[in-house]
Structure 1
Amino acid sequence: MREKLLRRSTLLLVLAAAVAVAKVREPIERALILSEHPRSEAPRVYVGGRIATLLRLEKPCDPARTVMLGWEGHFEPVVCAGRWVLLYPLRDLTPDNPFLLRVTLADGTELPFIVTSHEQSYGNREVDQQVNVFASREDYDAVLSSLYRALQSERELREQVERYEKEENSIDHAYATLLANGEVKQAPFKRKDLYELSDGEIGIKVEIFAGKGNGKAAVVVQLANTHRDRPWILKEARVSSDSTSRTARPFALRMNRAEIVSGASGSLAVVVDKSAFVSEKGMVSLVLEIFRDDGLQQLAVSLDPQLVQE
């Protein structure tokens, strides 16, 4: 019985050791900025047996003039394709046996590298899996800046998608859709005021609505592009208590068309909840501002808190 337990314990230890060796490693990717000093040593690239290492270049390389000295028997043939160079060692290297890699770009520029390895054990190998090569700090910063812009765009797009998902389930946006499409009778609002004006290019009709016991106010703006020689496009709509972004309030907005071409008409509707009129001093008046694509304010509409108290 004791012998069986010992054998079982030994088996468990062996299995544990195997799991430890086979532990999944995170891919190693790093940036390598080349030195412009003529006496600087060639940069090092660290490889490992039977693990592919990729060099990503800024410009395409020349396969005929990209070579590694003494690679036979130690590496698969070096692959140069486009802006990529592939290295694949057949076995682990030792740090005291480096190889010289000369990458020649299509424009004739030569980039030397020392291909070697770290002092390491089989279970703990630090290997470059992708090395992004930059000719200078300025090039690296440019790529980094582009990456940050892409991440910012992705974040803004994700926030926009989340906002649209919320709007799909918003009662205020449902009301605004009905009003923008002219279905006033289907929405629980009654008209309180009507204004018509023109700036010489755009004919404007403004209707102000009070909610029928739902604590909401609404504004419908009808725009007729009668004289403007280019489309009318909405840049921004803002609801605030003092015409600044500092006191901006939430609201629902819908338009029945993205742009209003010359000779056409379109409508936009804004719905504001009673909570937007509340301030530390009590109920306050709000201002709806509409800005067109050139940044100019098209109109401003005052919203009295009485609209949401009927």
Structure 2
Amino acid sequence: MAVARDRDLRVRNVHIRDNPKDEAEQVYVTGRVTTVLRLQQPCDPARTKMLGWEGRFEPLECVGKRVLLEPLQDLQPEDRFLLLVTLADGKELPFTVTSIGKKEWERPDQQVNVFLEPESRDALQEELKATRQREEELMESVYRHRREDTADHALARILTTGAIHQTSFVERRKRLVKTEDGAKMIVRIFEGNQKAAVVLTVTNRHPSKSWSLAEVRLRTTRPGEDQRAPFLFGEDKPFALRTDRNEIAPGQTGIIAVVVDRSAFRTNAGFVNTLALEFYRQDGFLDTYVLLDRRLVRE
């Protein structure tokens, strides 16, 4: 299983100081996902407001020490909404609500812990927890890069550039898929020496929403199983995945390449004849799937 991590949600700490020169803290949100501001004291629902939210967000919720934000759809990069959170003691906390950005720290916020006293016990504990989490993510990133530094990943990278002639792959099948969210996909299936490959060319025809890959799964199929996705009961198998971009903007085209080694067809009971490759988009919906025949991997 491969999961796109660029849109992963996160928990983040911010410290508000009484400095008039400080800019409003940014809060990064994404469509149809609730972002929670966690405060140190209750907020005042009557005086907690966001400007211009109508038609773009669910009604703002101020419940106890929590403020809940949920966009109805993904925001555009230029969108900015002023959020003013008023605490029970009358203190006003300004925030700028915006879309996710391209930088690593501009992922959607699942929860934002807001601290007024940076040296308080709670703030220090949360900061220690965040530091440990960053360390774990860094180690995981290093491990993932080492794990993906393989010949199959190099082949997949070549396929994303369109340089098929530099490989031993031969195209065997091609089909067109049109998805419900307006994407057009050209699926090309390749036969190779001890390997098979799939190249997915995605054109985003949605007028305003970007397309991105959330997850790819490769699983065995069982004899007599309905050969239609989703395939829930097969054994997960390894593969190499590369994309030419993290996100496909409206009107643009991107390429996803998958390389499957012959060993993926092997199980404890022997070789299986078919593997199912499933592609899930950013909202978790299955966009398309491919059945790979073992005859694609030349002996």
Displacement of 1:157 in angstroms is 2.3
Higher strand fraction (1 or 2): 2
CA contact 1:207–1:221 (8 Å) conserved in 2: yes
In 2, Cα distance between the equivalents of 1:246 and 1:134?
50
Look up the match of 2:262: 274
Equivalent in the alignment of 2:191: 210
Task: Find the partner of 1:147 among 99, 114, 128.
Answer: 128
Where does 1:175-214 land on structure 2 (aligned, <5 Å)? 175-200=155-180, 201-211=182-192, 213=193
How many angstroms does 1:247 deviate by?
2.2
Q: Secondary structure, in 3 states, of the residue corresponding to 2:283? A: coil
Contact conserved, 2:171 with 2:189, CA < 8 A, in 1?
yes
Using structure 2 for the length normalisation, give the TM-score.
0.52
**How many Å separate the matches in 2 of 1:247 and 1:146?**
40
Aligned residue for 2:277?
A: 288
Output the CA distance in 2 between the equivalents of 1:288 and 1:182.
21
In 1: Cα distance, 2:167 partner to 2:144 partner: 23
What is the CA distance between 1:134 and its match in structure 2? 6.0
CA distance in 2, matches of 1:159, 1:252: 18
Q: How many Å apart are 1:146 and its aligned residue?
A: 5.3
Aligned residue for 2:148? 167
Cα pair distance change 1:146/1:301, threshold 3 Å = farther
Across the aligned residues of Structure 1 and Structure 2, the Cα RMSD in angstroms comes to 2.7
Ranges in structure 1 where 5+ consecutive residues have no aligned partner:
1-57, 61-132
* Residue 227 of structure 1 pairs with residue 216 of structure 2: no
Partner of 2:73: none
Identity of aligned residues (%): 38
CA contact (8 A) 1:202 1:228 kept: no
Equivalence for 1:305: 294
Q: Which has the higher mean CA deviation after the structures are superposed, 276-285 or 147-156? A: 147-156
TM-score (norm 1): 0.51
**Residues 302, 159 of structure 1: alpha-carbon distance in 2 compared, 3 angstrom cutoff:** same
Taking the aligned partners of 2:120 and 2:216, their CA distance within structure 1 comes to 44
Off by >4 Å, runs of 4+ in structure 1: 142-146
| Deviation, structure 1 residue 244 | 4.2
Maintained 8 Å contact 1:290/1:300: yes
C-alpha distance in 2, partners of 1:277/1:252?
Answer: 14
Aligned counterparts of 1:156 and 1:59: Cα–Cα separation in 2: 26
Indicate if the aligned counterparts of 1:218 and 1:270 stay in contact, CA closer than 8 A.
yes
Deviation of the 1:281 alpha carbon: 2.0
Matched, 1:250 2:238: yes
Unmatched segments (≥5 aa) in structure 2 = 1-14, 18-118, 222-230
Q: Describe the SS at the equivalent of 1:299.
A: strand
Deviation for aligned residue 1:152: 3.3
